[in-house]
A and B are shown apart, each in its own frame.
Chain A
């Protein structure tokens, strides 16, 4: 079936540097994408989303880029902080699937912020 995957399982960055987490997806029919952050012992926490008719969206310290040509999604975190250490998941959904509430998740990237 369709899948959403991540290029790297782990990423270590120095505090203050920018982080880039990548995600490849295969379902060309995806209507939207969401990035989640999951800390140990907690459920996924929404970070930012982007619809398929957009190629960039910015939030507070985060930017999501969407390249539909190569089916690639990235999450950029500016000035990475220790509190950003977590597992990051990309997820995709298709409104045409009958329910906008079904998300397909990638395998996750563990981001570690080094002091």
Chain B
């Protein structure tokens, strides 16, 4: 069974640019969550998508956005990149059925974004 796949693994961008990251969840998983990981702030929740709808959102500025497609694949976009956006962006998928805990949340290897 394939795991969570994130592409690309590494990205280098400059300030002001925008970037799109992709996440393919485990087959059958309908929930996709995104997290930002930095040495200073640790792992922080960005947002979660379920059945193409954003179901929950963390405390990040509007420059961070996402979407989910009908096949549950998700993309995350960051516009007007800042130096502080340099981080490991992690995607996690789970079955996502209402009422069930996220015990089955599985993380991908992440996309390492460097903003110069």
Footprint of B on A, CB under 8 Å? 31-32, 34, 36, 41-46, 49, 51, 89, 91, 93, 95, 97-108
Q: Would you call A41 and B109 a contact (CB within 8 A)?
A: yes
Q: Would you call B108 and A51 a contact (CB within 8 A)?
A: no
Chain A: CB-nearest residue to B6 = A43
- What is the distance, in angstroms, from B60's C-beta to the closest C-beta of chain A? 13
Q: Would you call B42 and A107 a contact (CB within 8 A)?
A: yes
- What is the distance, in angstroms, from B59's C-beta to the closest C-beta of chain A? 8
- Chain A residues lying within 8 Å of B100, measured Cβ to Cβ, are 100
User: Helix, strand, loop or mixed for chain B's interface?
Assistant: strand
- Chain A residues lying within 8 Å of B43, measured Cβ to Cβ, are 44, 89, 91, 103, 105
- Chain B residues lying within 8 Å of A99, measured Cβ to Cβ, are 48, 50, 55-56
Interchain residue pairs with CB less than 8 A apart (19): A32-B103, A34-B103, A41-B109, A43-B108, A44-B107, A46-B105, A49-B103, A93-B102, A95-B99, A97-B56, A99-B48, A100-B102, A101-B55, A101-B56, A101-B96, A101-B102, A102-B45, A105-B35, A108-B42
Q: Is B66 an interface residue when CB atoms closer than 8 A count as contact? A: no
- What is the distance, in angstroms, from B107's C-beta to the closest C-beta of chain A? 4
Further 20 A-B residue pairs, CB within 8 A, beyond A46-B106, A101-B31 = A34-B103, A34-B105, A43-B92, A43-B110, A46-B103, A49-B101, A51-B101, A89-B42, A91-B43, A99-B48, A99-B55, A100-B99, A100-B101, A101-B48, A101-B56, A101-B102, A103-B43, A103-B45, A103-B102, A107-B42
Query: What is the bound-complex CA distance between A102 and B105, given in angstroms?
Result: 10
